[in-house]
Chains A and B, each alone.
Chain A
Amino acid sequence: EPEVTQTPSHQVTQMGQEVILRCVPISNHLYFYWYRQILGQKVEFLVSFYNNEISEKSEIFDDQFSVERPDGSNFTLKIRSTKLEDSAMYFCASSEEGGSNYGYTFGSGTRLTVV
C-alpha cells in the first residue's frame, strides 16, 4: 500500500533554531498538507499546497512557517526561529483530490521538541 514518508521521526532543536521537516507524498497525489498536533490536543490544519503554491493556510501558519516542493518528490515544512510552543507532532498528508471524498493519507509524523 502506498505510503507518505516523513523524516526525521523525531527532531530536537534549540529555541530560535530553524528546522526543516521532510515529507515524501504518495507519487500520484496532487494535494499536500501539513497538520500539527500538540500533545494531548486535537489535530490542527496548517497549510495545503497544490500546483506549486499554497492553496489554504490557517492562522497558525504565520511568517515563521514556509513550505516548499523543491523537487518532484519532496514536500518540506520549514519553521524559522522555533519557539517552545512549536513542540508538537507534525503530520504530512496527501490526497488525489482537494475536495476528497476518500480522506487523506497521513505520514507517521515528526515529533518536534523545542528545548
Chain B
Amino acid sequence: RKEVEQDPGPFNVPEGATVAFNCTYSNSASQSFFWYRQDCRKEPKLLMSVYSSGNEDGRFTAQLNRASQYISLLIRDSKLSDSATYLCVVHNYQLIWGAGTKLIIKP
C-alpha cells in the first residue's frame, strides 16, 4: 500500500462548481496533515493544514478522519485560478507526499 494515496485525476470541473478530493495514508502514527497546491513546474505551496476538528479557509474546507486514515479537501465556488495539482502531505518525522490530484477548472 502506498504511504499516501490520491486519485490522480484529472478532475474537469466547471467554474463555480464544488469539487472534493480525498486522500488516504497508511501510517497511523502520522502526526500532521497538509494540503499543498502545485502549479505546473512550480514549487509546492501550502494551502492549509488539516486538523481533526476540520477547518475552513474561505472557499476551502479540510477534514481529517484518523480512524479511517482519510483526509479530504473541498473547494466551493471554484475559480479558474484554482486549476492546479493538489498534493496531500502527511508529516511523520518528514513530509510524505501523495502524487497529487490534478484539477482543471473550465469556464
User: A104 to B32, alpha carbons, bound, how many Å?
Assistant: 12
Q: For residue B28, which residues in chain A have a CB less than 8 angstroms away from its CB? A: none
Decide if B43 touches A45 in the complex (CB within 8 Å): no
Q: How far is the CA of A45 from the CA of B97 in the complex (A)?
A: 9
Q: Quick one: closest B residue to A111, CB to CB?
A: B41
Contact with B along A31-45 (1 / 0, CB 8 A): 001010000011111
The answer to whether the Cβ of B81 comes within 8 Å of any Cβ in the partner chain is no
Residues of chain A within 8 A of B41, CB atoms compared: 89, 111
How long is the Cα–Cα vector from A44 to B4 in the complex, in angstroms? 12
**Stretch in B18-26, B44-52, B59-67, B71-79 with 4+ CB within 8 Å of A:** B44-52
List, sorted by A's number, 14 A–B pairs whose CB atoms are closer than 8 Å. Answer: A33-B94, A41-B99, A42-B87, A42-B97, A42-B98, A43-B87, A43-B95, A45-B94, A100-B91, A102-B46, A103-B34, A104-B46, A106-B45, A108-B43
Chain A residues close to B by CB (< 8 Å): 33, 35, 41-45, 48, 56, 58, 89, 91, 99-109, 111
- Chain B residues closer than 8 Å to A56, beta-carbon distance: 93-94
Q: Which 10 A-B pairs have the closest CB atoms?
A: A103-B46, A43-B97, A42-B99, A106-B43, A45-B94, A42-B97, A108-B43, A103-B34, A109-B43, A101-B32
Q: Show the binding face of B for A, using Cβ within 8 Å.
A: 31-32, 34, 36, 41-46, 49, 87, 89, 91, 93-100
CA distance A38 to B100 in the complex (A): 14
Given A56-B94, A91-B44, CB of A103 within 8 Å of CB of B99:
no
Q: How far is the CB of A21 from chain B (nearest CB, A)?
A: 14
Shortest C-beta distance, B3 to chain A (Å), equals 10
- Is the CB–CB distance between B91 and A99 below 8 Å? yes
- Minimum CB distance partner of B97 in chain A: A43
A10 to chain B, nearest CB (A): 11
Whether A99 and B32, one on each chain, are in contact in the complex, defined by CB atoms closer than 8 angstroms, is yes
Question: Which A-chain residue is minimally distant from B33 (CB atoms)?
Answer: A101
Cα distance A89–B96 when bound, in Å?
17
**Given A56-B93, A99-B91, A101-B49, residue A106 in contact with residue B44 (CB < 8 A):** yes
